[in-house]
Structure 1
């Protein structure tokens, strides 16, 4: 039985879902600290001008003389910034001509209208929605303490690092003729372009 440990992203890169489809059980890290420059609050899509980063604004803890680590599950979203409408408009602009945007539109749209207090809660709903779109039935569990070196499990929490450069096999992308193939964008790019075939693509890489 293959068990993996992952951190919860904002939709998440294709490289993470490649691991998820080949796992028997996924442990979701709930006890880690929030870190910048990760997929926890950003995703990359293929926009009309190339690679586009969509970032969720968060409320930072006040600075003190002693460095304070903020627990990821407690990070609050800054909803004074109307980021949800901006992100949804960006997705529609980028993918409305893709083969399968309309196929998944009704499932994804509610995520960008409901108000969420915490980043973790929002990302969990995004994760569950993508699993439904992929028709991927995963056995899930959640950590109850932070373990730096877990045993008998594949620790893939590093896939949350947005700085990692990962190459994947090509599939058709909306603006590919203009800017070429962009590797390892968010899972939505694969869904909108490949539709129901996305799960087979993930299993094959």
Structure 2
């Protein structure tokens, strides 16, 4: 088997996720058979609001007991979270240099309903790779494997509670940094809306 980096499918993944992809020029294998873990970037994206860091969380339907495979997790629409997330993104980034440039690319994710979390996250990943001009083939695991080579397995490495893959990131310009300073660990959209085509150079 050719070498591939093993990644989870995240919601608007953090900058460090794309640093891993950019710095490991090999195909991506997305984990779809893991047991869905709560309180991770699979359903959470952090953005920079006027009040500081803001977490946007995609609600999911509870499985019928036991563990649910990531590919079988359904998105919940009991609350109007899409409207809330889109309003939050607009409020946070409407004054950034490139939000209007990319706005129409992201709008469909908050206008139409998607049943499966995994599919939703994969479509966002494909868009983000295109906008960042990163060319990678994306495949999917066919079963769950506990162990992959440690230098290729990033399923647990990027987590809200454990910092950033690759160490502390170098600062870049953020809209509200004059209020709260540089905030690390945010979604790639924070970098993209602030720096546009230059985002890949930062990675």
- Shorter chain as denominator, the TM-score bin is over 0.9
Aligned-pair distance for 1:123?
0.6
Which residue of the partner structure matches residue 17 of structure 2? 16
Q: 8 Å contact 1:9–1:123 — kept in the other structure?
A: yes
How many Å apart are 1:161 and its aligned residue? 2.1
C-alpha separation in 1, matches of 2:150 and 2:67: 28
Identify the residue that residue 41 of structure 2 maps to in structure 1.
39
TM-score (norm 2): 0.93
CA contact (8 A) 1:9 1:160 kept: no
Residues 25-57 of structure 1, C-alpha deviations (whole Å, 9 max, x = no match): 111111111111100001000011000000011
Q: In structure 2, what is the equivalent of residue 85 of structure 1? A: 83
Give the TM-score normalised by structure 1: 0.92
Aligned to 1:137: 135
Cα-to-partner distance string for 1:165-192 (whole Å, 9 max, x where unaligned)? 2321010001000000001201000000
Are positions 1:184 and 2:185 aligned together?
yes
Structure 1 CA distance for aligned equivalents of residues 103 and 70 of structure 2: 28
The answer to whether the 8 Å contact 1:40/1:160 transfers is no
Superposed CA deviations along residues 137-160 of structure 1, whole A, max 9, x for unmatched, are 102221101111124861011134
Kindly report structure 1 stretches of 4+ aligned residues shifted beyond 4 Å. none
In 2 relative to 1, CA 79–200 (structure 1 residues): closer, same or farther, beyond 3 Å? same
Paired position in structure 2 for 1:99: 97
Q: Give the whole-Å Cα distance in 2 for the aligned partners of 1:18 and 1:2.
A: 18
Question: Paired residue for 1:201?
Answer: 202
Structure 2, unaligned stretches of length 5 or more? none
The aligned counterpart of 2:72 is 74
Higher strand proportion: 1
Q: Tell me which of 100, 123, 137 is aligned to 1:125.
A: 123
Q: 2:157 aligns with which of 159, 162, 167?
A: 159
Cα distance 1:190–1:118, how it changes in 2: closer, same or farther (>3 A)?
Answer: same
Q: 1:2 to 1:198 in 2, by over 3 A?
A: farther
Say how many residue pairs are matched.
198
